[in-house]
């Protein structure tokens, strides 16, 4: 975990993070905890969530795990009730869980389309239904994990791209709908080495690295830093924004 002992921006704050069992969600959970937050590690994979909690507690942080299938309204309701019972408040909701099934629109099974929209986009709506009263009370914030694919087209990525593009539009709408009490922003990760890259050929990783201005792929910790910034008082005048964390991928997008 990054040593941030001099940085305690989230002391006495409660952060709920979905898809927190691995990748960006796990890194964000560790980062919030290292800055003083009590973290709710929500994931559909109970063992993965428990592992992240163990890491946080081993580093002196406070966290607990909760099962949450973000496509389930019942799970969101149970999560909100558990947070209310345990903490009586919530300050940050980081909508990070995702799923992805590749396929051009004319080839993708309708069930795969619907599931990606439900997990990647409708989950943000469900988070609002579950947590907005508490977020308004605490003057909290929402940070959504979108993607550079929200604004760029890639062959064979129809549902994922549509869901992330919708997330950006919804982020702007929610910022207007619930401001000034609640801020709502999004991060747009570019090529980030998460477990979803496991098994990827080295040539694929190299191609993505050369497609960035930074000349490399990013780490989950670098996205976590951006999420925590947007959730902090340092970003108090930022809402409805989309922050690219992509090493200049959108600026370049050329492997030359």
Query: Is 245 inside a domain boundary?
Result: yes
Query: Is 4 inside a domain boundary?
Result: no
| Active-site annotation, residues | 160
Distance in angstroms between the alpha carbons of the first and the last residue of the chain = 34
What backbone phi and psi angles, to 5 degrees, belong to 147?
A: -170, 155
Query: pLDDT by residue for the chain (256 residues), tens digit each?
Result: 444 444 799 999 999 999 999 999 999 999 999 999 999 999 999 999 999 999 999 999 999 999 999 999 999 999 999 999 999 999 999 999 999 898 999 999 999 999 999 999 999 999 999 999 999 999 999 999 999 999 988 888 899 999 999 999 999 999 999 999 999 999 999 999 888 777 778 888 888 888 889 999 999 999 999 999 999 999 999 999 999 999 998 998 777 6
Q: Are 9 and 232 in contact (CB under 8 A)?
A: yes
Instruction: Express each pLDDT in 42-76 by its tens digit.
Output: 999 999 999 999 999 999 999 999 999 999 999 99
Q: What's the domain count of the chain?
A: 1
Query: Is 7 inside a domain boundary?
Result: no
Tally Cβ neighbours within 10 Å of residue 133.
13
Q: Are 38 and 90 in contact (CB under 8 A)?
A: no
Query: Is 123 inside a domain boundary?
Result: yes
Query: Is 5 inside a domain boundary?
Result: no
Q: What is the DSSP string of 89-149?
A: ---EEEE-------B-TTTS-HHHHHHHHIIIIIHHHHHHHHHHHHHHHHT-EEEEE--GG
Q: Which domain holds residue 209?
A: 14-252
Place of tokens 């580093």: 59
The DSSP symbol for 195 reads G
Nearest 10 degrees: Cα torsion 12, 37, 226, 118: -110
Which CATH number do you get for residue 214? Answer: 3.40.50.720
Q: Kindly give the residue spans of alpha helices, DSSP state H, lying in the chain.
A: 23-34, 46-58, 73-87, 110-117, 123-138, 158-178, 202-210, 220-231, 249-252
pTM for this model (two decimals): 0.94
Query: Is 1 inside a domain boundary?
Result: no
- Token pair, residue 88, equals 């009586």
């Amino acid at each position: 975990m990054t040593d941030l002992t001099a940085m305690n921006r989230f002391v006495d704050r409660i952060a709920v993070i979905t898809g927190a069992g691995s990748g960006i969600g796990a890194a964000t959970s560790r980062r919030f905890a290292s800055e003083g937050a009590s973290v709710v590690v929500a994931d559909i994979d109970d063992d993965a969530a428990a592992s992240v909690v163990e890491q946080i507690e081993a580093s002196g942080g406070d966290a607990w795990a909760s099962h949450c299938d973000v496509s389930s309204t019942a799970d969101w309701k149970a999560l909100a009730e558990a947070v209310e019972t345990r903490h009586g408040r919530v300050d940050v909701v980081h909508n990070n869980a995702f799923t992805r099934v590749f396929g051009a629109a004319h080839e993708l099974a309708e069930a795969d389309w619907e599931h990606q929209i439900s997990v990647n986009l409708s989950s943000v709506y469900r988070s609002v239904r579950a947590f907005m009263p508490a977020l308004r009370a605490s003057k909290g914030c929402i940070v959504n994990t979108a993607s550079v694919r929200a604004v760029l087209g890639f062959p064979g990525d129809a549902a994922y791209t549509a869901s992330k593009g919708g997330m950006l539009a919804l982020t702007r709408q929610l910022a207007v709908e619930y401001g000034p009490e609640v801020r709502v922003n999004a991060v747009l990760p570019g090529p980030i080495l998460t477990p979803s890259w496991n098994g990827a050929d080295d040539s694929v990783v190299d191609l993505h690295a050369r497609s960035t201005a930074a000349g490399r792929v990013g780490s989950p910790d670098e996205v976590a830093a951006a999420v925590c910034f947007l959730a902090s008082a340092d970003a108090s005048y930022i809402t409805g924004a989309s922050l690219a964390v992509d090493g200049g991928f959108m600026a370049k997008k050329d492997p030359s």
